[in-house]
Chains A and B, each alone.
Chain A
Amino acid sequence: MSTQVHASVDESTVRQLSEELGEPEWLLETRLDALDALEDLDFPDVIQTPGRLWTDLADLDYDSLVDPLGAAEEKDQVGPDGVEVLSFTEAVDEHEALIRERFGSVIDPQTNYLTALSTALFSTGTVVYVPERVDAEDVKVRTTMNSRSLFNYTLVVAEESSSVRLLERQETGEDVDGDRYYSGLVEVAAGENAYVQYGSLQNLDQTTYNYQLKEGVADTYGQVDFIDCNAGSRLSKSSVETHLRGDGSETKIVGAFYGHEDQHFDIDARVWHRNENTTADLVTRGVIDDESRSVYEGVQDVGRDAWNTSSYQRENTLMLSDESEADASPKLIINNHDTEASHSATVGQVDESDMFYMGSRAIPERTAKNMLVEGFYVPVLEEIAVDELRDDFERLVRDRLDSRD
């Protein structure tokens, strides 16, 4: 493994960062361990077939993208009474034991090169803590990135029989010279019988390279749902994974993306069935236009002990232009025969008979096509619990459709 960032990042950078944030020793150690591990770690897995690498993450010039000490942002962190929505620094001050226990418990900081880089260099973040039996609606975390690079960390802990529905969104504010890099790690832990819906809306500008890994763990009867909406960035690698560790736990991973111009989206949805009676439903819908490119990998992994598993996966890509390209790989890995699993994937255009029908109703072609594209997202939009996420994603889609030539 080459060491792309050593010119701008070394031990003293990490120490300075940690000291400025007033962090405890154990956190500094975790950061330094991640920094040390960089040399031995690989980039996140990307699919390669004969003659085609689906996404090239190693090709980015991290050295010029990463500016750890210059991080600048604006952040709103809001939530209803009864639930704690804290900045990461506040959370470490007020709940050090909790953070120490949970930090890195869902995502191993040394999963890959980019998670280790993020762990070593993150300077901002949010902790959402939902105590037992508390139900929280409309938690919102809004981040506007104003610097060349930003490393963000999010932790959501839902205790027994609690529930929370939240939205985390990323945008870019002030312009910078050259390209940018955003990196976000999200850990979600749903306790016994707890419910978490984590929705995200990524609309970074098209000079930004974006890496996000969101992982959830569901305890007994717990449920973790992800809604991952991607509209912005130049290139995104966004992986969403749920570990169904508890008996009877569930997950829904819902994805939506809309690529245009020369955007590249690499979206992963993965579920690990690791206990009995677990259920997963993976639904991703994406539109690609102009020269944009989409890559989708879905994995349903059923472990040896996952008796009575139900697991479903659907992925649909709509191509609006002839220059766009779509790659898809929905995978099933089944080690327990007491499983009902299926997946399907399609790629195609707006349906001609639908267009014909709309025409017969005297709807102009352009309007008809836009309506059908908006309708294409409905199965995804229906799952969203936070109005702001649904409304804003719908608006983004409409704006993009209106701006088509």
Chain B
Amino acid sequence: MSSDQDHLKETETEARFEFKKEESSAFEAEKGLTEETIRVISEDKDEPEWMLERRLRALKQFRQMPMPDDWPGAPDLSEVDVDEIVPYIRPDIETRGGAENWEDLPDEIQDTFDKLGIPEAEKNALSGVGAQYESEIVYQNMQEQWEEKGVIFCDMDQAVQEHEEILKEHFMTKNVPASDNKFAALHGAIWSGGSFVYVPENVTVQMPVQAYFRMNSDGMGQFEHTLIVAEENSEVHYIEGCSAPKYSEFNLHSGGVEVFVGEGAHVQYSTVQNWSKNTYNLNTKRAIVEKDGTMEWVSGSMGSKATMLYPSSVLKGPGATDNHITIAFAGENQNIDTGAKVYHNAPNTKSTIESKSISKDGGRTNYRGLVHIADGAENSSTSVECDALMFDNESTSDTMPYMEIQESKVDVAHEATVGKIGDEDVFYLQSRGLDDDDAKQMIVAGFIEPITEELPIEYAVELNRLIELEMEGSLG
């Protein structure tokens, strides 16, 4: 590890996520969800009429739609009572749309992100950073060279004001409409914050841009929206990180992510999710991929009480490609229900899904995936690989793939394995002088390597540290 990454060694990962700050805010919505709440939020954001209308329409859909609780083995969502959630908290900051200097932020917010290591990472490895605290982006900055090339990286509220035409066309219309599922509808009604990324034709953003989402208050809901538009032959890597301190009440995170991958464009979307273990994490993420475009979803789900997350790609243009790499780690009382969804709607499209899951101390992981190959999507191929590692007999690991093939000229393969951590592997490592804990950690690190090698070194190290933390002291 080079000296550049020394700060990673020095920071105590656990302490970095578990601290709490006094709750202080400029504006806090009432608990619960009414038309009035939504009008107030929209007004506080000074939104155009069409956005308010979309919010209100989404609210109506939310009320009509059923909870996704009748799926086989679905996480228990009975505790999720939207009327108990504080949907909107605007932190007490001067600058709407996010400050450009960390120093301009109030001390406790600045301190939060310092502890999370965000400004440090920005210096070393990123093209741009957005940081969200409660419901609003508080910091947003991008290196000038990208701005000059026409790249936009701003918070969504600002985008609604300044890039209204793009948003009107792309915001929760053809990608993730509010009618998609109950929590997409909820998101459509009360979304706040998030990032808008626009990459013009033929521009390659060399270093990743990152957004970091932090929930600090008890019983709040965070509903940020991310919209990425990558024009022809452009390239961008977007990383999101999430965390919150643990409170007694439940928190709800229901993000919406829409990605438009233009012809020949390449977008990678990486997530390292470490919500506190009282958070329900129910997201809808989707990409529409045009001709010869490539979408890559890399997700590490470590935190939360229950996660339901199935990033999807619609391969709309011929030659479009999708890659999914997901890792789920479920410890005590965690139910991590993740997977992937790919629609092959054009010829010569290709998808690969690689899923790794680890369950221990009574945790439950579930891979739930759908691959659909439409009639006419000739010469398409898909390969799905799921591997699960189980630590003990209290844990559960489910694999539920669904394949729908309406075209004959295809190559479809699905494979899955489940097993316990190999006694022989542990024995071998012990014979090399490692103790039991270290041996198991090393095996797990090897098991998830396909994921970590897709991430910049900072995040790979972070992910490994988080897994080590999860495993510490609990191995027997």
Binding site for B on A (CB under 8 A): 47, 49-50, 52, 304, 307, 317, 319-322, 324-349
Contacts and interface: CB of A to CB of B under 8 A. Distances in A.
B249 interface: no
B410 A348 contact: yes
B362 to A, nearest CB: 11
Contacts of B77: none
A337 B392 contact: yes
Contact of B388 (A325, A334, A338, A349): A334
A340 B415 contact: no
A328 B403 contact: yes
Contacts of A335: 393, 395-396
Interface residues of B, number: 35
A327 B398 contact: no
Interface string B383-407: 0000010111101111111111111
Given A333-B73, A338-B393, A344 B414 contact: yes
A304 B419 CA distance: 14
Contacts of B390: 334, 337, 339
A322 B380 CA distance: 13
Interface string B404-420: 11111111111111111
Which residue among B375, B404, B420 has the maximum number of chain A CB atoms within 10 Å of its CB? B404
B337 to A, nearest CB: 13
B414 A330 contact: yes
B408 A324 contact: yes
B153 to A, nearest CB: 32
Contacts of B398: 331-334
Given A327-B402, A346-B413, A321 B418 contact: no
Instruction: Name the prevailing secondary structure of the B interface residues.
Output: strand
B415 A343 contact: yes
8 contacts: A49-B370, A50-B370, A322-B375, A334-B397, A334-B418, A340-B418, A342-B416, A348-B412
Contacts of B370: 49-50
A240 to B, nearest CB: 19
The 7 closest A-B pairs by CB, nearest first: A337-B390, A319-B408, A347-B412, A332-B399, A337-B420, A342-B417, A341-B418
B401 A344 contact: no
Contacts of B408: 319-322, 324, 349
Nearest to A47: B402
Contacts of A52: 372, 404
B400 A322 contact: no
Contacts of B409: 322, 349
Nearest to B368: A331
Contacts of A322: 375, 407-409
Contacts of B401: 329-331, 345
B416 A343 contact: yes
A348 B380 CA distance: 10
Contacts of B397: 332, 334
Secondary structure class of chain A's binding surface, majority of residues: strand
Nearest to A342: B417
Name the residue in B375, B399, B420 with the highest tally of chain A Cβ atoms < 10 Å from its Cβ: B399
Contacts of A327: 402-405
B388 A345 contact: no
Interface string B193-220: 0000000000000000000000000000
A346 B405 contact: no
Nearest to B180: A50
Contacts of A307: 393
A198 to B, nearest CB: 27
Contacts of A347: 403, 405, 410, 412
A336 B399 contact: no
Nearest to A348: B411
B404 A339 contact: no
B402 A329 contact: yes
A345 B391 contact: no
Contacts of B420: 337-339
A49 B392 contact: no
A257 to B, nearest CB: 15
B79 to A, nearest CB: 23
Given A333-B73, A345-B414, A348-B410, A325 B393 contact: no
Contacts of A331: 398-401
A360 B398 CA distance: 46
A344 B413 contact: yes
Nearest to B364: A335
A270 to B, nearest CB: 13
Contacts of A343: 399, 414-416
Greatest chain B CB density within 10 A among A304, A324, A328 is at: A328
Contacts of B415: 342-344
Contacts of B407: 322
Contacts of A326: 403, 405
Given A336-B393, A348-B411, A330 B406 contact: no
A344 B386 CA distance: 10
Contacts of B410: 319, 347-349
Contact of B406 (A317, A325, A338): A325
B118 to A, nearest CB: 37
A381 to B, nearest CB: 23
Nearest to B381: A348
Nearest to A341: B418
Given A332-B388, A347-B410, A347-B412, 6 more contacts: A325-B375, A325-B405, A330-B401, A333-B73, A343-B414, A344-B413
B419 A341 contact: yes
B421 to A, nearest CB: 8
A337 B401 CA distance: 20
Nearest to A329: B402
A329 B419 contact: no
A349 B410 CA distance: 7
A329 B393 contact: no
A319 B420 CA distance: 36
A345 B397 CA distance: 19
A141 to B, nearest CB: 35
B240 to A, nearest CB: 25
A54 B418 CA distance: 27
A345 B403 contact: yes
B417 A329 contact: no
